[in-house]
Amino acid sequence: MKYKLGLSLCIGLLLGACSTTTEGLRQSDLRQATYLVGEYKIAANFPEIQKALFQHQAACGKAAVFRMDERQASYGTLRYARNEDGGWENTILFELTQLASGSTVVQAYSYRPGGLTQVQEVLASIRAPGVCEHDAEPESKKE
């Protein structure tokens, strides 16, 4: 009887240790090489990025949210919620570093796999604000 109880307890502990939970996932948890989707350089400074995102939001109804670091003017983030949940496990985080040349280095992080398409969409919204996904579809697909 003790053997069965001990075995059940060990199995329960192992299963608990193996299961992953996203409860309590924080922004700082995403800043790991494991979740890095890619690094990019865009030819825009922070005011230009913010202006493009406002234009894209107005035209398309959804855009990443820009936030500048209060302590360091050359650093900021973009947060793009993949769905209505909006938790960090369903968010793409963009770390921004503004260079003296006026361009910005972007590192994109995503907890969920398959974020590359959405990363490219957010970067495209900065390069061409107001061009919505449905605008890019061929005429044969629009109905």
Distance CA 36, CA 50 (A): 23
Domain boundaries, the chain: 26-132
pLDDT averaged over the chain? Answer: 80
> Looking at the domain that runs over 26-132, which CATH code has it been given?
3.30.310
Q: Is the pLDDT of residue 123 over 80?
A: yes
Global confidence as pTM: 0.74
Distance CA 60, CA 101 (A): 30
Instruction: Specify the higher pLDDT residue, 122 or 14.
Output: 122
CB 122 within 8 A of CB 80: yes
The per-residue pLDDT for 3 is 53
CA distances in angstroms from 67 to 8, 9, 106, listed in the order given:
49, 47, 13
